[in-house]
Amino acid sequence: MDNAALPGDPKALTADAVRALIDHAILKPELTRSDVDAQLDEAAAYRVFSVCVRPSDVAHAVERLQGTGVGVGTVIGFPHGTTSTAAKVAESLQALADGAFELDMVQNVGAAKSGDWDRVEQDVRAVVDAAGDTVVKVILETAFLTEDEVVAASRAAQRAGAAFVKTSTGFAGGGATVEHIRLMRATVGSDTGVKASGGVRGLDTLLEMVAAGANRIGTSASARILDELAHRAETGAASALGDDSSSY
């Protein structure tokens, strides 16, 4: 599984190691083509691991990022997870045909809240099967779930063959928390990835998520995070956790 190894001391991460954690999110529905292009160019300039774009932008992003080393992922069943399994499979196949190298699918949150874990697992498994060797991450939308449901959803995704479990879409009124990352990592162990997404807007928050067990980060604040890391390296500033509450 790509990028699955758990990092060591998060405060000792190099710039290259931080870049390798980041899926740069370009998902807001109102983004214009020029907005998307600016974000793609920023991702290339900062050499992040990948971008995660809207399904309709995959082919364009693949073309624009060709030769940069930045991968192109996309979302499936986004943002609510309520589309049918057949629709998620069709969306996945189209994304793969357009050149996506990873898929972040939203689980059926209603089925999860109903305790219908067989349905949740079957939904995920269908996308995993359609994806073949392609990495599939399952978005749990933890803001809607109890701790017991986070555990059950993580286990269902793992049983279905998902490579990662992921906290959030960023569109549900709540994002990643340290507590949920710890819980997800404790549930899936070291063989499945854990992605923190939603509200990761600064370096200290990223470091907290990594320390809690995340080994991939979804964020639209890649430039801010990497600029802050470069500034600390240049000035010798300590990595003491600070305030990342401002929006970006």
Closest-CA residue to 209 (of 22, 51, 84): 22
User: Which is the catalytic residue, given 98, 104, 123, 204?
Assistant: 104
Give the separation between CA 79 and CA 81, rounded to whole angstroms: 6
Distances (CA, A) of 35 to 76, 134, 140: 21, 28, 28
Radius of gyration of the chain (CA): 17
Q: Which 8-state DSSP code applies to residue 6?
A: P
Q: Taking the alpha carbons of 102, 112, 206, 244 in that order, is the dihedral positive or negative?
A: positive
54 phi/psi in degrees, rounded to 5: -65, 150
> Letter for the amino acid at 181?
I
What is the crossing angle of helices 85-98 and 117-131, to 10°?
20
Q: Establish whether 123 is a catalytic residue.
A: no
Which of 57, 123, 195, 244 does the annotation list as catalytic?
195
**Which residues contact residue 146 at a Cβ distance below 8 angstroms, ignoring those fewer than 6 apart?**
none
Q: Report the distance separating Cα 178 and Cα 184, nearest Å.
A: 10
Is 137 catalytic? The answer is: no
Which entry of 98, 137, 166, 204 is annotated as an active-site residue? 166
To the query of whether residue 195 is one of the catalytic residues in this protein, the response is yes
Q: Which of 116, 172, 181, 175 is nearest to 150 (CA)?
A: 181
CA neighbor of 219 nearest in space, from 235, 211, 233, 207: 207
Residues annotated as catalytic are: 104, 166, 195
